[in-house]
Amino acid sequence: MRKEDQDALDELFRAARLQLASSAYAARPIPFESIAMSMMVMQQRVIQELRERVGRLEGVEICHSERSAAE
Listed by start position, the domains of the chain span: 3-70
Phi and psi of 14, rounded to 5°? -65, -45
* Confidence class for position 54, pLDDT limits 50, 70, 90: very high
In angstroms, the CA 48 to CA 26 distance is 25
Q: Could you please report the per-residue DSSP string of 16-66?
A: HHHHHHHHTTS--SSHHHHHHHHHHHHHHHHHHHHHHHHHHHHT----HHH
User: What percent of the chain stands above pLDDT 70?
Assistant: 69
pLDDT at residue 28, rounded to an integer: 62
For range 20-46, the mean pLDDT: 74
Residue 60 has pLDDT above 80, yes or no: no
Report pTM: 0.55
* DSSP state at residue 13: H
Average pLDDT, the chain: 76
pLDDT at residue 24, rounded to an integer: 61
